[in-house]
Amino acid sequence: MSASVNVAVIYYSSTGTVAEIAREIAETAEKSGAEVRLRKVDELAPPAAIESNLAWAAHHAADRDTPVATAEDIEWADVVLFGTPTRFGNIASQLKQYIDTLGGLWEQGKLANKVYSGFVSTATNHGGHESTLLALYNSIHHFGGLIVSPGYTDEAKFVDGNPYGTSHSDAAPVGDETRAAARVQTQRAISVAAALARGGAS
């Protein structure tokens, strides 16, 4: 079903939480038979800011070998899953900067008709989970993209309680609840993209 689906998992992560969710999503997509690209966006913060936070510095070093996202990764993909920590209820500037470079593809109509979904982490339990995802989805509307949120389409979603996408509070390590939500979201996005591809082929 999903062998012909290309999935781009594109994220920004400062201390590693979003990167961990991104890896869960990428592994789920690969197990579903999709072709997968796991990509981070460029870091914009100055070295002094990164080095002032031990967790940020450690993750920055650990994530050094992950390829940096390009516009071509979006053009290649049938499904794009964007990940970001929240910044005052909005997406991180690093991910926004990447999105802002996609104007050329947008002008050519190459961002439209793809499946998009989002995932997020916050520092606190009510620190902007939903508002950050909704802010991310504003850009997708401008793309002409197809937002595929997980909704309450699986029993696991009644546990984590976020129909807009996978979200996690850094008050605890990434655990089974978040991983289950990520798997549900990934499988739903791929299944919708595969159904669209079948419809287009017919």
Quick one: what percent of the chain has pLDDT higher than 90?
86
pLDDT at residue 201, as a whole number: 57
The pLDDT confidence band at residue 171, using thresholds 50, 70 and 90, is confident
Could you say which of 3.40.50.360, 1.10.10.10, 3.90.930.12, 3.60.10.10 is the CATH number of the domain covering 6-201? 3.40.50.360
pLDDT of the residue at 3: 52
Confidence of residue 1 (pLDDT cuts 50, 70, 90): very low
Q: How far apart are CA 189 and CA 79, in angstroms?
A: 7
Mean pLDDT score across all residues of the chain: 94
Q: Quick one: pLDDT at residue 18?
A: 97
Question: Distance between CA atoms of 186 and 194, rounded to whole angstroms?
Answer: 12
**Half-sphere exposure of residue 96: CA atoms within 13 angstroms, side-chain side:** 12
pLDDT above 90 (res 200): no
pLDDT digits (tens, 9 = 90+) for 96-140: 999 999 999 999 999 999 999 999 999 988 899 999 999 999 999
| pTM, two decimal places | 0.95
- H/E stretch holding 39 reads strand 35-40
78: pLDDT strictly greater than 80:
yes
Q: Are 116 and 140 in contact (CB under 8 A)?
A: yes
Structural element, H or E, at residue 28: helix 17-31
Under the phi-then-psi rule, with left for phi > 0, alpha for psi from -120 to 50, and beta for the rest, what region is 9? beta
pLDDT at 5 exceeding the cut of 80: yes
